């Protein structure tokens, strides 16, 4: 018969047993020992011993009404006695008159408990040392665990479809969803692709401006495929010590292989995927070590196991070419700003989460938000819901959406901003200068709204123009018409007030940018023709422009830009001179109403 091993008892059992034994000793054995050492006598015996001069020390216990004393017995040894105390006023005199000197100890001290002495002298110090030892031991173990975890990946893992997202939650990115649908199909039915010899793309790079839904698309792929989803940011690989980022990459791919089929998503991959050799970094740089390990891991894992690497960036021009070659990131999927139909779809998706009051014209809102990303449109819906609550409504109305568009574009209304009558008049003529110049040109977008209400963005007023449809190409005439419209505000100031103000600062900046692009990038200058004089870097972020010409040519470019703006300014002045009567008439109306719609403006202009 096999003997079962005796399980070890926990230490707490021994601790409790020892404590019980000590308490038993204190309650039973100690009183017995005390009683065995003390002789109980009556009060008369005590007085007799006093008379015989054999009492050496007397202790009076007023609490227990006892007298404890030491005396010499017949054999000549000291013994301890105790007797009941009897009220005797002559006791002290008798003790003083005894034959032998008597020591008085006052009130008899109570004997110390051995349990208390044992606890204070032994147990408490031991517990303190043991506790300190346990504390420092845990600290050391924690540091060791942290040291061992330096190379562990801290990717967030969403098992199965816990991302809660599917392609139904993604709107306005039909081309991107179509490109990613093959990955989902492969993860669902890999045998169908294996029969023909097709292999799953190892990686797909999502490229686009911020807020277009790159992370949402990756989560939707995992939700559609119903597979584990590893999500990590590129910055989480960057460590202080060289080699730790590479260790995290190894651990990430190890976990992904164990949970295959799965999807690994690295957000902002440009953090670790920048071109090697740039910025003066050496071969031992931590970022380069991490990138080299990432390249090695992408070469090493087998895509037939169903591990798909998705990455997102808005700086594709900064990525290392080795990362973009086929066999690593096989697909580059653009996630661009949505078009008109896409914006309508995005607004409808986000509006499902908000109570809306019918009818709602999402097309009008979409036309007014050209160039907006999905995140901007979601913000517009939320701002409209917040405004509806502020106004005491139970549902969002069309006016809430229109006002939220203006909040995103120009900021909130500054209700406490008090402009002087002179300033209000100058702002009104300035904005009408833009509007009339735009309306009198054949290549300008229609005027949708004019207001002289100050906004938190710093604008004292603005003229809103909305295209009827998205424009993908801009002709030279249309670009020049935009220049003329931008200079219309300054032209009105000069004609009416014979001066200029700082209100045209933003107009001047925009006009200079358009004119420079016409000369350097679009080939719309008669002097330079189809000659590229400037390149654009980071098109998805700030779109910085860098001249690619000599300093002499750059000076000529500046002259050409100035020539274009001057020509546009002269055109705007000519248009306003031809419509001076309407300018004064509509300005009076605008000063009274503060805000007029595009329809009101056209009726007054064409009346």
Cα(first)–Cα(last) distance of the chain, in Å?
A: 113
Q: Nearest-CA neighbor of 545 among 523, 515, 508, 513?
A: 513
187-204 in b/e burial notation, b at 16+ Cβ within 10 A? beebeeeeeeeeebbbbb
Q: How far apart are the C-alpha atoms of 340 and 64, rounded to whole Å?
A: 100
Which helix (H) or strand (E) segment holds residue 422: the answer is: helix 421-439
Q: Nearest-CA neighbor of 207 among 153, 256, 273, 162?
A: 273
CA angle 530/536/537 to nearest 5° reads: 155
Q: Tell me how long the chain is.
A: 607
Question: Is 431 designated active site?
Answer: yes
Q: Nearest-CA neighbor of 345 among 370, 363, 332?
A: 363
Contacts 24+ apart (CB under 8 A), 117-121: 118/22
* CA 140 and chain centroid, separation: 31
Helix, strand, or coil (residue 59): strand
Query: Which candidate in 239, 403, 431, 493 is catalytic?
Result: 431
* 457: number of Cβ within 10 Å: 13
Strands across the sheet containing 203-207: 156-158, 229-233, 262-267, 307-313, 203-207, 331-334
Cis (ω within 30 of 0) for the bond into 261?
yes
Q: Nearest-CA neighbor of 94 among 49, 30, 32, 141?
A: 49
- Residue 174, judged by CB atoms within 10 A of its CB (0-12, 13-18, 19+), counts as middle
Residues marked active site are found at: 431
């Amino acid at each position: 018969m096999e003997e079962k091993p005796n399980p070890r008892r926990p230490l707490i059992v021994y601790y409790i047993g020892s404590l019980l034994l000590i308490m038993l000793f204190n309650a039973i054995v100690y009183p017995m020992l005390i009683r065995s050492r003390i002789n109980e006598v009556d009060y008369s015996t005590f007085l007799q011993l006093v008379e015989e001069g054999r009492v050496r020390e007397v202790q009076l216990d007023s609490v227990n009404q006892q007298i404890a004393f030491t005396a010499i017995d017949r054999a000549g040894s000291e013994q301890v006695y105790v007797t009941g105390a009897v009220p005797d006023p002559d006791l002290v005199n008798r003790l003083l008159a005894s034959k032998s000197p008597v020591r008085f100890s006052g009130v008899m001290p109570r004997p110390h408990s051995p349990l208390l002495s044992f606890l204070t002298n032994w147990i408490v110090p031991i517990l303190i040392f043991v506790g300190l030892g346990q504390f420092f031991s845990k600290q050391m173990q924690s540091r060791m665990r942290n040291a061992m975890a330096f190379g562990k990946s801290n990717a967030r893992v969403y098992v199965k479809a816990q991302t809660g997202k599917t392609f139904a939650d993604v709107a306005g990115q039909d081309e991107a969803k179509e490109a990613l649908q093959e990955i989902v199909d492969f993860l669902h039915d890999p045998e169908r692709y294996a029969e023909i010899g097709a292999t799953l793309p190892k990686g797909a790079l999502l490229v686009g401006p911020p807020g277009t839904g790159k992370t949402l698309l990756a989560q939707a792929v995992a939700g559609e495929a119903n597979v584990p989803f590893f999500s990590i940011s590129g910055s989480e690989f960057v460590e202080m010590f060289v080699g730790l980022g590479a260790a995290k990459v190894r651990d990430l791919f190890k976990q992904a292989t164990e949970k295959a089929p799965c999807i690994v998503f690295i957000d902002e991959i440009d953090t670790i995927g920048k071109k090697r050799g740039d910025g003066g970094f050496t071969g031992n740089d931590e970022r380069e070590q991490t990138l080299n390990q990432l390249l090695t891991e992408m070469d090493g894992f087998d895509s037939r196991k169903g591990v798909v690497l998705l990455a997102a960036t808005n700086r594709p021009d900064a990525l290392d070419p080795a990362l973009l070659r086929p066999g690593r990131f096989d697909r580059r999927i653009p996630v661009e700003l949505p078009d008109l139909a896409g914006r309508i779809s995005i607004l409808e998706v986000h509006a499902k989460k908000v109570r809306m009051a019918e009818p709602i014209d999402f097309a009008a809102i979409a036309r007014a938000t050209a160039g907006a990303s999905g995140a901007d449109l979601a913000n517009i819906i939320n701002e409209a819901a917040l405004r509806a609550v502020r106004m005491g409504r139970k549902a969002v109305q069309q006016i809430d959406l229109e006002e939220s568009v203006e909040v995103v574009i120009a900021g909130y209304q500054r209700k406490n901003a008090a402009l002087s009558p002179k300033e209000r008049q100058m702002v009104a003529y300035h904005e009408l200068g833009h509007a009339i110049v735009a309306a009198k040109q054949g290549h300008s977008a229609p005027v949708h709204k004019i207001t002289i209400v100050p906004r938190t963005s710093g604008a004292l007023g603005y003229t809103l123009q909305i295209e009827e449809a998205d424009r993908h190409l801009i002709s030279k005439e249309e670009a020049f018409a935009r220049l003329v419209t931008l200079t219309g505000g300054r032209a009105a100031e000069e004609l009416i007030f014979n001066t200029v103000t700082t209100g045209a600062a933003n107009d001047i900046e925009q006009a200079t940018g358009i004119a420079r692009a016409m000369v350097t990038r679009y080939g719309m200058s008669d002097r330079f023709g189809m000659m590229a004089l400037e390149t654009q870097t980071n098109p998805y972020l700030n779109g910085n422009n860098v001249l690619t010409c000599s300093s002499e040519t750059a000076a000529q470019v500046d002259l050409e830009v100035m020539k274009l703006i001057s020509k546009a300014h002269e055109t705007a002045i000519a248009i306003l001179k031809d419509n001076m009567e309407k300018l004064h008439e509509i300005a009076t109306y605008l000063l009274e109403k503060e805000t007029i719609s595009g329809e009101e403006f056209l009726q007054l202009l064409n009346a």
